[in-house]
Amino acid sequence: MKKTILSLLIVLVCAQLHGQHLGNFNNQAATMKISRANIATSDNAIVYGKQSTYASPPLQPSNILSLNLRSLYNVEATDYTAVFNVVQVGNTAEETTQLMNEKIDRVKSRLKADGFQGQFALDMISFVPQYEIEVTKKLFSKTYTEVPVGFELQQNLMISYRDDADFHKILNACASAEIYNLVKVDYYVKNLEAIYEDLQKKLLAEVEKKKEYYKNLGFEMAQMNVAMADKKYYHMPKDFYKSYLAAENVSMESIKGKKNVTSVRKPTSYYYDPIPYSGYDIVVNAAITKPVIQLGMDLSLRYTPKPEEKKPVPVPEKPDPKVYVVSPTGPIDIKQLPQN
């Protein structure tokens, strides 16, 4: 009996451990919208998501060959740009500008002291006065007047860097200057043309393999016309973040104990969900450990049989009738007859 109970417990534990491999994102809310500024809208990469599994339809043989190839290249960025939104208010325009400059200078000084070698740039967003309503009381009425009480200056601070480890230095420097609004981080690749050329070579090699396969099936590729279409694309990590809730909504212990249920804030979690590899014929650097730039190139070819060449029908030669007139004396006279 003890062995039976122990075996049952082991099975239950294994089942629980197996279930944990699903991850917390299994609890995500389907209708949730992302409100975080530095991540795009929820499910913005659904066009590249996994498709539902359906029964494969029967194949339809044809003498027209359609070749669709897809290639994907995962590459780590060589340059980054972090964008922070900075808002400063003040009583006067001069005071607001001075406070903004001091805040930006603190960030630069902190980073340079840490040996930071990146670049800085500012993007002016707005510089507007702030108003309040001033109420003037009269004997039989009140007057409401808007009067300026201060100014608001808003800029975007853009910090470019190359080493991914420098991002933590940037966050610490901005936090020390009370700058917290990270808008986004852009990724860039320097050798972009070389990567696309590499994908082209791999696609051409794949085309040659397919043509050899068709040739073994009995198709004469030299006797077929070809039409083609291609495209390429470039996706940054910020385009492929999704959200989910990792919190339960019901507390059974509170219900059993007849206690009041106190609602708590359920934080939204985010995870990087890159383009899946299903449907791709070529994937370069498939194993990734951090968000990367995903470059792609698709090629579509269509082979159709060349029309048979019609041989010209030989035209029969017209007869050339002639009359030979022999005289009694021996001479021969040749007469040409008319053709009509």
**101 and 176 within one domain:** yes
Domain hosting residue 228, numbered range: 31-48+62-78+189-247+264-307
Contacts of 148 (CB under 8 A, 6+ apart): 129, 130, 131
Rg (CA), the chain: 39
* Residue 84: per-residue pLDDT: 95
The phi and psi torsions of 88 (rounded to 5 degrees) equal -135, 135
8-12, 33-37, 224-228, 278-282: the lowest-pLDDT one: 33-37
Q: What local confidence, expressed as pLDDT, does residue 297 receive?
A: 94
Segment 312-336, tens digit of pLDDT: 888 777 766 666 666 677 676 666 6
Q: Quick one: CA dihedral 54, 60, 61, 64, positive or negative?
A: negative
Give the tens place of pLDDT for each residue, 225-262.
999 999 999 999 988 888 887 665 655 666 666 666 66
Cβ burial 270-285 (10 Å sphere, 16+ → b, else e): beebbbeeeeebbbee
Is the same domain home to 177 and 211? no
Evaluate if residue 31 carries a pLDDT over 60.
no
Residue 321 within any structural domain of the chain:
no
Q: What percent of the chain has pLDDT over 90?
A: 46
Same domain as 130, residue 93: yes
Dihedral sign for Cα atoms in the order 205, 206, 210, 216: positive
Q: Are residues 200 and 299 in the same domain?
A: yes
Which of 188, 211, 239 terminates a domain? The answer is 188
Mean of the per-residue pLDDT values of the chain: 79
Looking at the domain assignment, is residue 102 inside a domain? yes
Question: Domain ends where: 188, 215, 231?
Answer: 188
Determine the pLDDT at residue 61: 87
Q: Is there a domain that residue 338 lies in?
A: no
- Residue 215 domain-assigned (yes or no): yes
Could you give the CA distance from residue 283 to residue 287 in angstroms, rounded to a whole number? 10
pLDDT tens digits, one per residue of 63-92:
889 999 999 999 999 999 999 999 999 999
Tokens for 24, please give them: 């917390």
- Using CA atoms, how far residue 316 sits from 32, 321, 336, 340, in Å, is 83, 15, 20, 17
Instruction: Compute CA distances 139 → 124, 134, 142, whole Å.
Output: 46, 17, 8
Segment 155-181 mean pLDDT: 93
Phi, psi (5° rounding) for residue 100? -65, -45
Is the pLDDT at 275 greater than 80? The verdict is: yes
Domain count along the chain: 2
In this structure, what is the dihedral angle of CA atoms 253, 256, 258, 262, given to the nearest 10 degrees? Answer: 20
Pair 97, 227 in one domain: no
3-class state of residue 180 by DSSP: coil
Note the pLDDT of residue 139.
Answer: 64
